[in-house]
Amino acid sequence: MDWKKLVIAVVAGDRREQEIARLAAATGAGVRAYGFPWPDAGISGVTLAPDARSALAGADFALFPIPGIAPDGALFAPQCPQRIIPDRDMLAGMRKPAHVILGWADQNLKRHGEALGITFHEYEWDEDLMLLRGPAIVEGLLKVMIENTDITIHKSSVCVVGQGTIGFLVTRYMVALGARTHVAARNKVQRAAAHAAGAESHTLDELEQLAPRLDTIVSTVPAPVIGRNVLEKLPSHALVVDLAAPPGGVDRDAAQDLGRKFVWARGMGMRAPITVGQSQWSGIRERIETIMGEK
């Protein structure tokens, strides 16, 4: 395929998107960017747009961040002064047939795409890419735990809720670091795998009974699994960390009401932006090549 014929917009994100934009430009494609931290020296081959609409105008592909979309429809862009909400008017300027590659799209964004003839390609749950960026996410979690507790991970009691790709990696690291590791999961095969990895396994219904014994509880499930009934049973010193994409797995209002130490650790892949940006681009590039090959 001839990359030089493509225009790619990289919109929102963090330093991972710097690396993605750099690698996209290295293919020879025209690349415009907006909404992530812009380096003082710029990025070779990448044009900084004045706003998201300008970045998207005439683009064949738009690349949005992995961490997902806030309840108001805003893209993940923690250092952008304006919230970036891709509405129908903003997307309408893309060159049809257009494609958006992103972690995941909410229903409102999908409706805009259907109306405009824009196809969304989601890869938040692609196991290969999740595994590639998994170590950076775990390292980010370790940083959060170390900075927000007065005890070592070693010999502390940690519960990992959910045993998907990231949940299982977190479990493996906690066991390796010597934590008294518990796992709560719906799936009995996942619970058995956690047991085999050296953790004590539980059903989600057992979380409330387990809570008083915990120093840290980590949710990896993007659905409400840690409610007030669990949070109020935790010791006063306990740390609650939510690694999940929106809407998250923890009742944040209840955590605040109860005075729990809570961190919603979205975007932990930013711990190693070059490594994770490269792994994300490998998946994005493959998808672009597949899409172009089908035309």
How far, CA to CA in Å, does 195 sit from each of 101, 138, 188, 190, 207?
A: 37, 20, 10, 9, 16
The stretch 178-199 carries a mean pLDDT of 97
Place of tokens 């992103």: 102
281 vs 112: CA distance, rounded Å: 25
187-193 average pLDDT score? 96
Q: Can you tell me the mean pLDDT for 275-283?
A: 91
Sequence-ordered alpha helix ranges (H) in the chain: 15-26, 52-56, 88-91, 107-116, 127-147, 165-176, 188-196, 207-210, 228-231, 252-257, 273-294
- Distance set, CA 155 to CA 131, 192, 233 (Å): 27, 22, 20
Helix-helix angle 127-147:165-176, to 10 degrees: 50
Within its chain, how far is the Cα of 103 from the centroid?
Answer: 7
Distances (CA, A) of 167 to 78, 107, 143, 282: 24, 26, 17, 23
What's the whole-number mean pLDDT along residues 190-216? 97
Separation CA 198–CA 183 (nearest Å): 10
Going from the C-alpha of 124 to that of each of 116, 130, 240, the distances in angstroms are 23, 8, 23
What is the residue-wise DSSP string for 32-58? EEESSPPPTT--TTEEEPSSHHHHHTT
Least confident range of 54-63, 153-162, 179-188, 263-272: 263-272
Q: What is the pLDDT of residue 131?
A: 84
> For the chain, which domains are there?
3-124+272-294 (3.40.50.720), 155-264 (3.40.50.720)
Q: Could you please report the per-residue DSSP string of 118-164?
A: EEEEE-TT-HHHHHHHHHHHHHHHHHHHHHT-SS-STT-EEEEE--S
pLDDT band at 245 (very low <50, low <70, confident <90, very high): confident
- 72-83 average pLDDT score: 93
**208's tokens:** 């409330």
Mean pLDDT on 187-207: 96
Q: Tell me how crowded residue 72 is: count the other CB atoms within 10 A of its CB.
A: 9
**Per residue in 4-20, pLDDT tens?**
999 999 999 999 999 99
Q: Is the pTM of this model over 0.85?
A: no
Average pLDDT of the chain, as a whole number? 94
The answer to whether residue 260 scores a pLDDT higher than 80 is: yes
At 30, is the secondary structure helix, strand, or coil? strand
Q: Residue 266 above 90 pLDDT?
A: no
Among 87-91, 132-136, 288-292, whose mean pLDDT is lowest?
132-136
Going by pLDDT thresholds of 50, 70 and 90, the confidence category of residue 295 is: low
Please report the pLDDT score of residue 124 as a whole number: 75
pLDDT of residue 68: 73
